[in-house]
Amino acid sequence: MIDIQKIRADFPILAQEINEKPLAYLDNAATSQKPKQVIRALTHYYEFDNANVHRGVHTLAARATDAFESARAKVAKFIHAREVAEIIFTRGTTSAINLVVDSYGNANIEAGDEIVISYLEHHSNLIPWQQLAKRKGAVLKYIELEEDGTISIEQAEKTITEKTKIVALAHVSNVLGTITPIKEIAALAHKVGAVILVDGAQAVPHMEVDVVDLDADFYAFSGHKMMAPTGIGALYGKRELLDKMEPTEFGGEMIDFVELYDSTWKELPWKFEAGTPIIGGAIALGAAIDYLTEIGIDTIHAYEQELVSYAIEQMSVLEGITIYGPTDASKRCGLVTFNIEGAHPHDVATILDEDGVAIRAGHHCAQPLMKWLDVSSTARASFYIYNTKEEIDALIEGLKLTKEYFGL
């Protein structure tokens, strides 16, 4: 059995009070908090090992390079990539997706080709494909959602055709928490010769991800949602695809030979990592993976599902609250999105903050999904391994006060 209080003690930020109330941080889908082990890894690099990587022969450069590349190996192992060279460090999910769009997409999409996404997508996995389709004269298609906001294999099969060249889907919705059947949809994509990119920003921190078993061609995620610093993330890509792709940024680090009128690139993964990389962030991401691995990702997922079930159960008792997405916790990851009839989500979040409860309110960078839900915005409570049922109780009490405040 996991000791949640022991885990919470690793997160200095959780010990504070907000408005003289204990902080209940329930905004983990936006960004996670950082344990002291990750903070120490970052400060240790800057205090003892700060140097540029790969080219230097002095001791600090060697230590920095070893730590940086060790972090890459940890990422590869964590998502079960076949080899370390298939892991490219990026600024996060958004930059990883844009890399694929600008390299693979520009080279392989032509007029009339189809790009398939869904209404669930975060803007970072929608706008880049939207712009590519406009540039190339391609067709952007959306998989219809089921009534509970899930993606079914049947709807995916209807949407993916012989003209489909790229399928790009969120593994877990940042609004509904719904889990997409990526493995089955990847098989549909490959059957027609298409590739699949997966936005794993909300999946990798919360559940077991095996990119080989999923047969994902590309898989993108961010460090800051999995206890690492902001500004670091990763792109996984199958070697046979990455080898054929051209870099999208050029400069130092990524070159092999430079002549006056032509240049050649380094091998994978460095040909996609122009300039000085985010060294400290990558090292801290490695420390975050160590931390998550020690707890166990399956343990984290199971505990979060307990929290989600409890939150849905408690919210369902309150009148005037609409919960979006499936009520079956097994169909979603650790978040609950909702609205109170007669109260704007921003007002709900503001009143909750007065009681020390931090949630997110707005369109969550998913405006097409808001339109599908027939709302302009929602409130969202999202959980991680350091959250407790007592914090959900504080959320529920805050919702009751909100209803009283507005006379609902």
Q: What is the pLDDT of residues 98-125, one digit of tens each?
A: 999 999 999 999 999 999 999 999 999 9
Quote the crossing angle between the two packed helices 389-405 and 345-354, to the nearest 10°.
120
Percent of the chain with pLDDT over 70: 100
pLDDT at 329: 85
* Confidence (pLDDT) at 406: 86
The pLDDT of residue 175 is: 97
> What is d(CA 140, CA 113) in angstroms, rounded to the nearest whole number?
9
Express each pLDDT in 55-64 by its tens digit. Answer: 899 999 999 9
Share of the chain above pLDDT 90, in %: 95
Q: Is pLDDT of 1 > 80?
A: no
* Beta-strand runs (E) in 74-145: 87-90, 114-118, 139-143
Q: Is 333 assigned a catalytic role? A: no
- What length is written for the chain? 408
Amino acid 64: pLDDT: 98
341 touches 403 (CB < 8 A): no
pLDDT tens digits along 361-378: 999 999 999 999 999 999
Mean per-residue pLDDT, 46-74:
96
For the whole model, what pTM was predicted? 0.97
Q: Would residue 78 be called left, alpha or beta, if left means φ above 0 and alpha means ψ between -120 and 50 degrees?
A: alpha
Out of 51, 365, 375, 401, which one is annotated catalytic? 365
| pLDDT at site 405 | 87
Q: What does the alpha-carbon distance between residue 197 and residue 132 come to, in Å, rounded to a whole number?
A: 15
Type of residue found at 308 = V
Kindly report the backbone phi and psi dihedral angles of residue 314, in degrees, each rounded to the nearest multiple of 5, phi listed first: -70, -40
> Quick one: which H or E segment has residue 22?
strand 21-22
Task: Determine the pLDDT at residue 330.
Answer: 86
Average pLDDT, the chain: 97
